[in-house]
């Protein structure tokens, strides 16, 4: 088949090269954006008197026919035509003849592919923003429901201090809140128009880039034509935002996996979101969480892949840049499905509240509260830390908890300790004694819920 660029060639393309260089198998998903961009370009060519009204009509009609055929699965995508841009252009020429042949005036596939990608990403990133908001809402609702559920908070995966489950869940809500804001930021940089940059240096024809930018809903035309066709930083932005989202999802998944173990038994996973073992009949495995954790590696890889592709490229367009699409599509797909799965699964998880609270006992989880109690009695923190440490050691040796000690025993360590100490040594007392901003107290948790809900509305 003769290529749209075949004029200066004497021989056809080797079949091996056609197979090697095609991108239609994956960039066909840009068809809608490609047509949208072409419509805007054609309207501009007419407005600038570069094509006639009749030609515009023929182009628009042809594009609509192609659109319908693709939607109905009747369009034949051809590998010999390399990519989505040439597949659609060739079909248009078949339908609209010489008018179709004018569509590519003052346009190159270089500005075309950048335009398609930006249109595609604007839509997809907005979808990711919605999905992330959905997850945040789910976490906030769960936090609200668990405002009285107490559990151990950990550092080094060792029991550290009691916290509200709500506080723990909201920690994740805040991470996803930042991820959502990060995606919103990315949209600002995505939403700029490369169309009309041509191959790299612009055009000698009287095109109107402001018009096409407006027509396509872009904020502005990119001011430098070389920059417009050669950078993929906006794709990297999305790959990074996706990688960060997956990192947060993976940590949450890891906790779900851990909490569902027989050793922790903090949660029971819904049957609907668990899988069995082909050999061990008793097993109920947390596969969705493991898959999210596992897929995170691939999403990180996608970011490194494109950064590496881009690092040595001289300006402007190089064919290497075709390698931007597969990692990008994979990240978009993986992050979207991971968000969907976890958001659907979370509300179905059963929290074993008694077991969580029970886990606060033993392990001297309120020792820090005792030290702060002593500080309130005027003891310097380092001394208070030392005294409390000694009390803990004494308890370990006696196999008791701090609350088992009599006031007389406690006073042997410091005469600043009084009866009222017992109140702050329970997990509930410890949590409610927290008065600092952003702490685990119920008041702070309620405030966080309010802040998150406000941001989700805005
Ligand atoms: N399929 C190409 C890509 O994805 C489109 C641009 C091709 N441009 C070119 N000069 N060969 O990057």
* pLDDT single digits (tens) 136-181: 999 999 999 999 999 999 999 999 999 999 999 999 999 999 999 9
Which residue has a Cα nearest atom 2 of ligand 1?
Answer: 322
Is there a catalytic annotation at residue 361? no
CB-count burial class (<10 Å; 0-12, 13-18, 19+) for 445: buried
Q: Across residues 289-309, what is the average pLDDT?
A: 98
Q: Residue 1 pLDDT > 80, yes or no? A: no
- Asked which of 105, 130, 163 is the last residue of a domain, the reply is 105
In the listed set 105, 120, 135, which residue is the last one of a domain according to the structure?
105
* Same domain, yes or no: 84 and 176: no
So what's the pLDDT on residue 279?
Answer: 85
CATH number (domain holding residue 86): 1.10.275.10
Task: Give the distance, in angstroms, between the CA of residue 197 and the centroid of all CA atoms in the same chain.
Answer: 31
- Tell me how far apart the alpha carbons of residues 127 and 32 are, in angstroms, rounded to a whole number: 16
Is the residue at 13 inside a domain? no
The three state secondary structure string of 356-385 is HHHCCCCCCCCHHHHHHHHHHCCCCHHHHH
20 CA distance to ligand 1 middle (Å): 13
* 297 plus 392 within the same structural domain: no
Q: Are residues 409 and 425 in the same domain?
A: yes
Say if residue 310 is in the same domain as residue 333.
yes
Rg over alpha carbons for the chain, rounded to the nearest Å, is 31
What average pLDDT is seen over the chain? 96
317 lines ligand 1 (CB under 6 A): yes
Structure confidence at residue 398 (pLDDT): 95
Residue % of the chain over a pLDDT of 70:
100
Higher pLDDT, 403 or 5: 403
In a domain? residue 348: yes
DSSP state of 393: H
Q: pLDDT value at position 3?
A: 79
Q: Whose CA is nearest to atom 7 of ligand 1?
A: 109
Residue of 5, 78, 322, 325 with the most ligand 1 atoms within 8 Å of its CB, for mutation:
322
Domain assignment present for 72 = yes
The CATH number given to whatever domain includes residue 440 is 1.10.40.30
Q: Confidence class of residue 284 from pLDDT cuts 50, 70 and 90? A: confident
pLDDT at site 4: 79
How confident is the model at residue 24, as a pLDDT? 98
Residue 399 clears pLDDT 90, i.e. is over it: yes
**Domain endpoint, select from 105, 121, 142:** 105
pLDDT tens-digit map of 192-213: 999 999 999 999 999 999 999 9
Q: Which of 69-78, 270-279, 331-340, 364-373 has the lowest mean pLDDT?
A: 270-279
Looking at the fold, whether 87 and 221 belong to one and the same domain comes out as no
* Same-domain status, 273 and 351: yes
Structure tokens at 35: 């047509």
Residue 8 located in a structural domain: no
For the cut 80, the answer to whether the pLDDT of residue 2 exceeds it is no
Q: Helices 109-145 & 84-100, crossing angle to 10 degrees? A: 130
| CB of 109 sitting under 6 A from ligand 1 | yes
Question: What separation in Å is there between the alpha carbon of 48 and the centre of ligand 1?
Answer: 27
Is residue 81 in contact with ligand 1, taking CB distance under 6 Å?
A: no
Asked whether 112 lines ligand 1 (CB < 6 A), one says no
Q: What is the pLDDT of residues 331-371, one digit of tens each?
A: 999 999 999 999 999 999 999 999 999 999 978 999 999 99
Same domain membership, residue 293 and residue 187? yes
- Write b or e for each residue in 57-82: b if 16 or more Cβ atoms lie within 10 A of its Cβ, otherwise e: ebbbebbeebbeebeeeebebebbbb
Task: Quote the pLDDT of residue 249.
Answer: 98
Are 215 and 86 found together in one domain? Answer: no
With a 6 Å cutoff on the Cβ, whether 305 touches ligand 1 is no
Instruction: Provide, rounded to the nearest whole percent, the portion of the chain with pLDDT above 90.
Output: 94
pLDDT digits (tens, 9 = 90+) for 104-130: 999 999 999 999 999 999 999 999 999
- Ligand 1 atom nearest 321 alpha carbon: 12
Q: Per-residue pLDDT for 428 more than 90?
A: yes
Is there a single domain that holds both residue 332 and residue 422?
no
Q: Tell me, yes or no, whether 174 lies in a domain.
A: yes
One domain, residues 98 and 148: no
The CA–CA distances, whole Å, from 62 to 39, 99, 389, 403 equal 10, 10, 81, 82
What's the pLDDT score for residue 234?
A: 98
Alpha carbons 288 and 441: distance in angstroms, whole number:
32
**Does 6 fall in a domain?**
no
128 plus 258 within the same structural domain: yes
Same domain, yes or no: 198 and 337: yes
- Separation of alpha carbons 63 and 86, rounded Å: 13
Instruction: Give a yes or no: residue 238 inside a domain.
Output: yes
Contact 261, 192 (CB under 8 A): no
Please state, as a whole number, how many other Cβ atoms lie within 10 Å of the Cβ of residue 187: 18
Asked if the model's pLDDT at residue 281 lies above 90, the reply is no
216-250 pLDDT tens trace: 999 999 999 999 999 999 999 999 999 999 999 99
Q: What is the CATH number of the domain that holds 286?
A: 1.20.200.10
User: 243: which 2 tokens?
Assistant: 């990688």
Does residue 100 belong to any structural domain of this protein? yes
Instruction: Give the pLDDT of residue 62.
Output: 98
Bridge partners for 155 per DSSP: 158
Q: What is the pLDDT of residue 294?
A: 98
Question: Which residue from 82, 83, 195, 199 has its CB within 8 A of the most atoms of ligand 1, so it is best to mutate?
Answer: 83
Domain count, the chain: 3
The residue segments making up the domain with residue 419 are 367-457
């Amino acid at each position: 088949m003769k290529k749209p660029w075949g004029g200066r060639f004497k021989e056809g393309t080797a079949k091996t090269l056609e197979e090697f260089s095609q991108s239609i198998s994956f960039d066909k998903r840009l068809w809608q954006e490609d047509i949208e961009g072409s419509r805007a370009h054609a309207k501009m060519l007419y407005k600038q008197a570069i094509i006639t009204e009749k030609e515009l009509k023929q182009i628009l009609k042809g594009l609509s026919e192609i659109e319908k055929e693709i939607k109905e699965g009747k369009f034949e995508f051809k590998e010999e035509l390399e990519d989505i841009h040439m597949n659609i252009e060739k079909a248009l020429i078949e339908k609209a003849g010489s008018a179709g042949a004018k569509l590519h005036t003052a346009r190159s596939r270089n500005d075309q592919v950048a335009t398609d990608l930006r249109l595609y990403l604007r839509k997809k990133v907005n979808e990711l923003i919605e999905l992330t908001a959905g997850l945040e809402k789910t976490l906030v609702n769960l936090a609200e429901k668990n405002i009285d559920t107490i559990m151990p908070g950990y550092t080094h995966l060792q029991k550290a201090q009691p916290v509200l489950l709500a506080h723990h869940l909201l920690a994740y809500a805040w991470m996803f809140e930042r991820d959502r804001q990060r995606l919103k930021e990315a949209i600002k940089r995505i939403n700029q128009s490369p169309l009309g940059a041509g191959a790299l240096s612009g055009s000698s024809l009287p095109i109107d880039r402001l018009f096409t930018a407006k027509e396509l809903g872009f904020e502005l035309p990119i001011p430098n034509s070389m920059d417009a066709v050669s950078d993929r930083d906006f794709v990297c932005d999305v790959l990074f935002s996706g990688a960060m989202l997956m990192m947060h999802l993976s940590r949450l998944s890891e906790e779900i996996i851990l909490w569902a173990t027989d050793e922790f038994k903090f949660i029971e996973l819904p049957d609907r979101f668990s899988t069995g073992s082909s050999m061990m009949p008793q097993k109920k495995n947390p596969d969705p969480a493991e898959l999210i954790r596992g897929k995170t590696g691939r999403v990180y890889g996608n970011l490194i892949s494109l950064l590496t592709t881009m690092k040595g490229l001289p300006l402007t367009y190089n064919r290497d840049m075709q390698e931007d699409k597969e990692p990008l599509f994979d990240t978009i797909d993986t992050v979207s499905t991971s968000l969907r799965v976890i958001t659907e699964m979370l509300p179905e998880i059963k929290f074993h509240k008694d077991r969580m609270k029970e886990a606060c006992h033993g392990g001297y989880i309120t020792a820090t509260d005792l030290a702060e109690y002593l500080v309130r009695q005027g003891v310097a923190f380092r001394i208070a830390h030392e005294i409390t440490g000694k009390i803990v050691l004494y308890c370990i040796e006696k196999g008791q908890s701090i609350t088992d000690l009599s006031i007389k025993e406690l006073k042997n360590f410091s005469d600043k300790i009084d009866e009222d100490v017992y109140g702050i040594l329970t997990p509930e007392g410890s949590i409610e004694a927290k008065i600092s901003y952003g702490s685990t107290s119920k008041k702070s948790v309620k405030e966080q819920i309010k802040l998150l809900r406000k941001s989700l509305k805005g």
